[in-house]
Amino acid sequence: MAILSMREMLQQARSGAYAVGAFNILDYNSMRAVVDAAAELAAPVIIQTSVKTVLFWGYEPVVQWYRQLAGSVSVPIAIHLDHCKDLEVIRNCIKHGWTSVMIDASSKPFAENLALTQQVVKMAGPKNITVEAEMGAIVGVEDDIHVREQDAHLANVEEAERFCGQVSLDCFAPAIGTAHGVYKGEPKIAFDRLEKIAERTGLPLALHGGTGLSDEVFRRCISLGCAKVNISTQLKYAHIGGFVDYYHNHNKEYNPLKNLAAQYEKLKEGIIKDIQLFGSAGKA
Ligand code: 13P
Q: Virtual CA dihedral for 239, 103, 78, 55, nearest 10 degrees? A: -50
Distances (CA, A) of 65 to 60, 70, 98, 99, 176: 9, 8, 12, 14, 34
Looking at residue 215, its pLDDT comes to: 97
- Average pLDDT score, the chain: 94
Measure the N-to-C terminal CA separation of the chain; round to a whole number of Å. 14
Burial of 249 (0-12, 13-18, 19+ CB in 10 A): exposed
pLDDT score recorded for residue 233: 97
Q: What pLDDT does residue 2 have?
A: 59
Nearest of 24, 16, 4, 18 to residue 226 by alpha carbon: 18
Q: Give the pLDDT of residue 150.
A: 62
**For helices 87-96 and 59-71, what crossing angle results, to 10°?**
40
Ligand 1, atom 8: nearest CA belongs to which residue? 208
What's residue 118's pLDDT? 98
Ligand 1 pocket member 204 (CB < 6 A):
no
CA-CA distance, 127 to 147, in Å (whole number)?
A: 32
List, for residues 219-247, the tens digit of each pLDDT value: 999 999 999 999 999 999 999 999 999 99
| Residues 120 and 99 sit within 8 Å (Cβ to Cβ) | no
What is 187-203 written as a DSSP string?
A: ----HHHHHHHHHHH-S
Q: Which amino acid is at 218?
A: F
Angle, vertex CA 4, rays to CA 277 and CA 165, nearest 5: 85
178 CB within 6 A, ligand 1: no
Pocket test for ligand 1, best of 81, 103, 132, 233 (most atoms within 8 A of CB): 233
**Ligand 1 binding pocket includes 142 (Cβ within 6 Å):** yes
pTM of the model: 0.95
Which pLDDT score is estimated for 137?
82
Which residue ranges in the chain fall short of pLDDT 50?
A: 1
Question: Do 132 and 206 touch, CB atoms closer than 8 A?
Answer: yes
- A 10 A CB-CB count for 74 gives 11
The per-residue pLDDT for 151 is 61
Going by their DSSP bridges, the two strands 226-231 and 145-147 should be labelled as unpaired
The pLDDT value given to residue 140: 74
Q: What is the CA radius of gyration of the chain?
A: 18
* SS3 per-residue string spanning 129-181: CEEEEEECECEEEECCEEECHHHCECCCHHHHHHHHHCCCCCEEEECCCCECC
